[in-house]
Structure 1
Amino acid sequence: MGTWDVHPFDNDTAADFANDLDDADVLEREALIRRVLMRAADNKDYLEVPEAEEAVAAAALVAAQYSGTEPVDIPYGPEEPIPHLPADLRSLAVDALDRVLADESELFEFWKESEGGRTWERSIGELRQVLDPAPQTQGDALFEI
């Protein structure tokens, strides 16, 4: 697994996903993002790293449209434009991020045991906040001190 930082596209899997989006017809890009988010959000079993990394990247693309940041400005993200994404993808992206942060998530386990875990958690929290600005009811941190 090639991971070089904590941001959504700072790993090989997400970079490959960005390339897939660039290669897809513009009319297929929303569907590709939706499929990636649904695969993570609907996963009831153990969520593997590749699916989780793609979901985080897809959530970042949705968040970028609602934070005023263009997706092309995301380092290592897609170079081709992403069409306007429908509002329902916001809640799907939140569900996918929540699944990435849940038990039975290999990516969560990876970062939990990593030195950069808190920074990664903060990065995911910032994405989630853009997608769902309502206050969270969970504790402040997922990692124990």
Structure 2
Amino acid sequence: MGTWDTGPFGNDTAADFANDLDDAAKGERERFVRGVLMRAIDNQDYLEAPDAEEAVAVAALIAAQCPGGEPVSPHYGPDEPIPNMSADIRRLAAEALDRFLADKSELSELWGAEDGERWRGSIVRLRQVLDPMPEAQGDALFEI
């Protein structure tokens, strides 16, 4: 079927990833998640859609554990909740999202004009949950 929704688990790759994550031993889940994020971050060439789709799914799972994060789809997301991750995982997830929005990302190219804005909006919302700009820092940007 491919892709059926702009959500992080609205594609076959992410749904398959959720199954693989459920199959992973509890003690291996963080390493599994970290590997997905690092594949996306470390790829400075053209980032293929499947790697990006998995990393978006991981970012959504991590964001769901953060204040302001939205729950993951119970239909296509993992059945088992992911354990709380190391503190740096949140930063890695934000970096991975930045990587998808870069020029050399197949996933960014695949989202055309019609649904592309909605997809990019969902990525930006995930990014804000993962790495919100502190209010004081945000205000300093506008001081003259």
TM bucket (normalised to shorter chain) is 0.7 to 0.9
Give me the TM-score of the superposition, normalised by structure 2.
0.87
Conserved 8 A contact 1:65-1:85 = no
**Partner of residue 54, structure 2:** 54
TM-score (norm 1): 0.86
Distance 1:81 1:70, change over 3 A: farther
Displacement after TM superposition at 1:35 (Å) = 0.4
Distance in 2 (alpha carbons) for counterparts of 1:73 and 1:32 = 20
Is 1:14 matched with 2:11?
Answer: no
Distance 1:103 1:74 in 2: 32
| 1:72 to partner: Cα distance | 6.0
Gaps of 5+ in 2: 139-144
- Measured on the aligned residues, the alpha-carbon RMSD in Å equals 2.0
Measured in 2, the distance between the counterparts of 1:71 and 1:26 equals 20
Supply the distance in 2 between the matched residues of 1:74 and 1:126 (Cα, whole angstroms): 19
| Distance in 2, Cα, partners of 1:70 & 1:118 | 19
CA contact (8 A) 1:71 1:81 kept: no
The within-5 A match list for 1:105-116 is: 105-111=105-111, 113-116=112-115
Aligned pairs, number:
135
User: How many angstroms apart in 1 are the aligned matches of 2:55 and 2:38?
Assistant: 8
8 Å CA contact 2:64–2:72 kept in 1: the answer is no
Q: Does 1:121 align with 2:125?
A: no
Q: For residues 52-89 of structure 1, give each alpha carbon's deviation from its aligned partner in whole angstroms, at most 9, with x where no partner exists.
A: 00010011111111136686655411001211111101
Q: List runs of 5+ in structure 1 lacking aligned partners.
A: 138-145
Alignment of 1:1-145 (within 5 A): 2-67=2-67, 74-111=74-111, 113-134=112-133
In 1, Cα distance between the equivalents of 2:55 and 2:35? Answer: 9
Identity %: 67
